[in-house]
Structure 1
Amino acid sequence: MFADFLKRLTAPDPAPLQDIDARLALTALLVRVARADGHFDNDERARIERIVTTRYGLSGDDTKTLCDQAEVLESEAPDTVRFTRAIKDSVPYDDREKVIEALWDVVLADGTRDDLEDALLRMVSNLLGVNDRDSALARQRVEARQK
């Protein structure tokens, strides 16, 4: 279903993504991080739905459709390194920085941080070209909202 999209995304010189494609790729990345610990539950999915609804101003049906498609795309996407680098090459820095904040929101949804999640976020941030300082600031903004 997403073979053409993935082919375009991972091409040697990808064109910038259209808004709807960027939404799908970035939501799939949220799903990938949520699934990283081998556990993807309704609470995590609800958190992702809230994030994309707020971020993109979507209706409930549009949010559900986007999340359903993102789950399929994530399962078909190449390894995290290639997938994330492809996003980096086709999404502006400001959007990638906001994605890191959303990723921290998903990771911290249960109120705890573990070493696996920290390591994954460091890797993803680096692959997206977001420096450690900006990632830490994004995490701190999420933590402040949760207090």
Structure 2
Amino acid sequence: MLADFFKRLTAAKDETLEPSDARLALAVLLVRVARANDDYARSEVAKIDVILMRHYDDLDADGAAQLRAQAEELENTAHDTVKFTQAVKEAVPLENRTEIVESLWELVLADGERDHEEEGALRLIAPLLGINDRDSALARQRVEAREG
């Protein structure tokens, strides 16, 4: 399954990605941000599952956990963040990508700390998704206001 995902991800531009590819790509980005500081906290694991269920209505807790587990495996071996952001960009319209950046900020702030490594990973990913620094900062502020 992961080998097929990589084939589709590296295929020619005219070959379309499966909707499940974008799901897995988003999950990998979430895991990548959470692991950026080498402290993959339980609160972050739980937050990833919640975020995945919120973004994909057809995922229940077990489905989200399975998707996250696949993403964890893939994140261990795949080092090219650009491929994952491209998969998300192809599947998610620009006006909806700010929600993804908000979700990434939720994850950065999930353990109660604003970690520099996690924030750095997010600051790399946001522009690759087409979200500028200002919009990313506004997304962070919305999350901080909402999460308290």
Where on the TM-score scale, by shorter chain, does this alignment land: which range? 0.7 to 0.9
Work out the CA distance in 2 between the residues paired with 1:119 and 1:102: 15
The two structures have a TM-score, normalised by structure 1, of 0.85
Work out the CA distance in 1 between the residues paired with 2:95 and 2:16: 14
The two structures have a TM-score, normalised by structure 2, of 0.85
Letter in 2 for 1:29: L
Deviations 1:97-140 (A, max 9, x none): 22111110100112221332332221111122211122112111
Work out the CA distance in 2 between the residues paired with 1:90 and 1:9: 12
**107-116 or 135-144, which moves further after superposition?**
107-116
Deviation of the 1:4 alpha carbon: 2.1
Question: Which ranges of structure 2 fall in alignment gaps of 5 or more residues?
Answer: none
Question: Which ranges of structure 1 fall in alignment gaps of 5 or more residues?
Answer: none
Deviations 1:70-97 (A, max 9, x none): 1112223233244434543554323432
Mapped contact 1:85–1:128 kept (Cα < 8 A) = yes
Give SS of 2:17's match: coil
Cα RMSD after superposing both structures: 2.1
Percent sequence identity is 54
Mapped contact 2:37–2:115 kept (Cα < 8 A) = no
Q: 1:136 aligns to what?
A: 137
Length, aligned pairs only: 147
The structure-2 alpha-carbon separation of the partners of 1:37 and 1:95, relative to structure 1 and needing over 3 Å to count, comes to: same
